[in-house]
Chain A
């Protein structure tokens, strides 16, 4: 028993170690990619009416005339030693401040998305599987198909149109009250919900057919008990993985929902920065988000391993 524990812990440790070079590469790659983006950062900071001498002076000061590898090295040093990701062109503040201001909104929205899509998705998936081929099951499958085909930004707009504009039931923008969270929450949850429903349904179907369910039923346990105790426990594991997989989808949904509903979140900040060519902000936001997603994926992987030691970590 102890040997197994050590082996599992070692696997987890290895997995964590593998993540560190990945994060490093992501940081460096993001820096290099944006380095080749059009527009001179110094020119952008000073505005179009700045003299060439001033621009050149700022370039020297910011280290923009250094060779690329020196710039990368300075950037990394800044992050690791001081947590300094640079200064935004637009707000003239450290980008970490701008990000910190908008991050809570996006995180709240994402959490709503995860909770709603997981809980409702798993429930509906189970119902659909247990009552396979029934009218309810078929109706659910049709709705799921539509949900998967709907772009989040169109769904958001249609929800806005119906509930905010036509019916005046819910607010159309802003963030803070629970009413303002409903429409964006629905928008961001729909696609992941549909995917989770699908996966739960097919996993449950697989599990229900397995022999030990039949054995349990033969032993005399009632049908419901059989389902809820045995099937659910084993179908739960893939759901954990799915949550990890849906993170990218969730984030896309967050970006689009923030655009449609004018929410002051990180997604909208990224888009505004792309327009404004605010490269330090884009760089920092992308790195932050990639970090968060990678770490959450790591946690999901670890949980997955702990739940089912038969699964290989990679």
Chain B
């Protein structure tokens, strides 16, 4: 672990990424302390005002302080990205381990199911799932998680297939270890590099996907302070008050950039072959 950190420190891009992500995480944790106003407090006499000393990023179409909404919105956005990756990662890795280790009919069934999920363009599948579950941030997270599961399943499965035949697994078997022990104590830890790399970039993609769903109205619902939703709220006033859309979109770009930078750096350290 220390080795990884030492090597990572040399990559300036990765450090910048980590910095960006940390800023947003701190913003999310200390939101009540940082945000100057209540994100839902409306002020209809001051609609769409431009950035000023009182309102750093101006006000939106209901007079709410945009800066406060961005700060609180970081919670929704971060949560969406992280939960998606957690759900997809845990379920997908588990499926991949089983499919790779036991192979046979079960393995085939699992991988064919992944093929079915992959047959749909991922955003379309997410829209379909939200259509079935009804719009909402939580359902959007579920939808995006489901579309992400196959990439974990496939990667972990191919890792498992290779690791299954390695020397230390053979040795463990000779010592009498159970299958479950081998899977979770030997194969999984050695797959972690791929899983972590998938996850950092996965958070970036999940954030964009959930924000996209919110933008088209199928994710977070008003009056929630969510960056994608704020972007669409600003769409109608692009001519008169572009700052509403600019700041929310910029926040998404910076956060995603952070995760991408950090993810790239992490991947270079953990497995340069993947480049």
- Which residues of A are found within 8 Å of B41, using beta-carbon distances? none
Known: A22-B115, A161-B238. A145 touches B257 (CB 8 A): yes
- What is the CA–CA distance of A10 and B256 in the complex, to the nearest angstrom? 45
Interface residues of B in 159-216 (CB under 8 A from A): 204, 208, 211-212, 215-216
Any A CB within 8 A of the CB of B94:
no
Contact with B along A247-281 (1 / 0, CB 8 A): 11001100110011000000000110011000000
Any A CB within 8 A of the CB of B95:
no
The residue that A151 contacts in the complex, of B134, B217, B239, B249, with Cβ under 8 A, is B249
- Which residues of B are found within 8 Å of A145, using beta-carbon distances? 257, 260-261, 264
Known: A153-B231, A158-B249, A256-B215. A36 touches B132 (CB 8 A): yes
Number of interface residues of B (CB under 8 A): 42
| B249 and A22 form a contact (CB under 8 A) | no
Any A CB within 8 A of the CB of B120:
yes
Any B CB within 8 A of the CB of A303:
no
Any B CB within 8 A of the CB of A29:
yes
- Which residues of A are found within 8 Å of B252, using beta-carbon distances? 151, 154
| B128 and A248 form a contact (CB under 8 A) | no
Contact with B along A8-40 (1 / 0, CB 8 A): 000000000000001101100110011011100
| B128 and A26 form a contact (CB under 8 A) | no
Closest CB-CB distance, B151 to chain A, in whole Å? 11
Question: A26 — nearest CB in chain B belongs to which residue?
Answer: B119
- What is the CA–CA distance of A194 and B218 in the complex, to the nearest angstrom? 27
Any A CB within 8 A of the CB of B47:
no
Closest CB-CB distance, B25 to chain A, in whole Å? 17
Closest CB-CB distance, A195 to chain B, in whole Å? 12
| B124 and A153 form a contact (CB under 8 A) | no
| A251 and B124 form a contact (CB under 8 A) | yes
- Which residues of A are found within 8 Å of B235, using beta-carbon distances? 157, 260
Any A CB within 8 A of the CB of B99:
no
Chain A interface residue number, banded: 35 or more
Known: A157-B238, A248-B122, A293-B119. A282 touches B257 (CB 8 A): no
Contact with B along A150-188 (1 / 0, CB 8 A): 111110011011000100000000000000000000000
Any B CB within 8 A of the CB of A294:
yes
- Which residues of A are found within 8 Å of B115, using beta-carbon distances? 22
| B212 and A290 form a contact (CB under 8 A) | no
Any A CB within 8 A of the CB of B245:
yes
Closest CB-CB distance, B92 to chain A, in whole Å? 17
- What is the CA–CA distance of A259 and B260 in the complex, to the nearest angstrom? 26
Question: B248 — nearest CB in chain A belongs to which residue?
Answer: A154
- Which residues of B are found within 8 Å of A271, using beta-carbon distances? 127, 216-218
| B119 and A22 form a contact (CB under 8 A) | yes
The residue that B123 contacts in the complex, of A158, A160, A161, A251, with Cβ under 8 A, is A251
Question: A268 — nearest CB in chain B belongs to which residue?
Answer: B216
Closest CB-CB distance, A129 to chain B, in whole Å? 13
- Which residues of B are found within 8 Å of A275, using beta-carbon distances? 217
- Which residues of A are found within 8 Å of B257, using beta-carbon distances? 145-146, 149
- Which residues of A are found within 8 Å of B256, using beta-carbon distances? 149-151
| A294 and B119 form a contact (CB under 8 A) | yes
| B204 and A151 form a contact (CB under 8 A) | no
| B129 and A33 form a contact (CB under 8 A) | yes
- What is the CA–CA distance of A112 and B153 in the complex, to the nearest angstrom? 33
| B116 and A29 form a contact (CB under 8 A) | yes
Closest CB-CB distance, B109 to chain A, in whole Å? 12
Known: A153-B231, A256-B215. A293 touches B128 (CB 8 A): no
Which residues does B use to contact A, with CB under 8 Å?
115-116, 119-124, 127-132, 134-135, 204, 208, 211-212, 215-218, 228, 231-232, 235, 238-239, 242, 245-246, 249, 252-253, 256-257, 260-261, 264, 275
Instruction: Name 8 interchain pairs, CB-CB below 8 A, sorted by A.
Output: A22-B116, A26-B120, A145-B264, A149-B253, A151-B252, A202-B275, A251-B121, A271-B216
